[in-house]
Amino acid sequence: MKSLIEIHTSTLAEGCNEFDVTCKACDFDGWQLAEAGFTGDISVNVVAEKKGDELAVTINTSAVADFACDRCLSPVSKALTGTLDLFYTFGATVDDEHEERRRVERGTESLDITADACETLLLSLPMKVICSDNPDCRLYGSNRTDSGTMEVGEPQAGEKRSWQESLEKLKDKYC
């Protein structure tokens, strides 16, 4: 099976080499990127710098992902970017001080970096998605007080919200 994103090491020139790949989430078999929210084009920029028997690769990913707001479930689209640096050594043994280097046989024609690009995309996903710019989000900008009523809007100068007061008490207790 042909890899989706690969570096042809046999044709790399000494120095900096750069190439771009544009694909869809469904092109990455088994990675479930579409289920993670990636529905549009995925751009992968690869910079490979060859220096003798060493190769430094930087993978830059960018894509738009569609989510639902964690507060109000409104649809939210976010532009996500990620970067991963990889280091390869051809033929030589890898020193203990450079554990992050990957050893590659000298006659290797190409390096498949599809999995590395997918991992970079997945690591760029936010843990929480909030539509702070959406006026329809009924919970944005409001907090419940201890009595259950809603605090709406920004506090006046010098005024603290109940959660801020709780943090101050906690800080005084442990500091």
Q: Which of 26-30, 116-120, 122-126 has the lowest mean pLDDT?
A: 26-30
The per-residue pLDDT for range 39-55, each reduced to its tens digit, is 889 999 999 999 988 99
Structure tokens that stand for 19 in this block? 């190439």
Q: Where are the domains of the chain?
A: 6-123, 142-174
Say if pTM beats, i.e. exceeds, 0.85: no
Residue type for position 23 = C
**Percent of the chain surpassing pLDDT 90:** 37
Of the candidates 42, 58, 33, which has an alpha carbon nearest to the alpha carbon of residue 122? 33
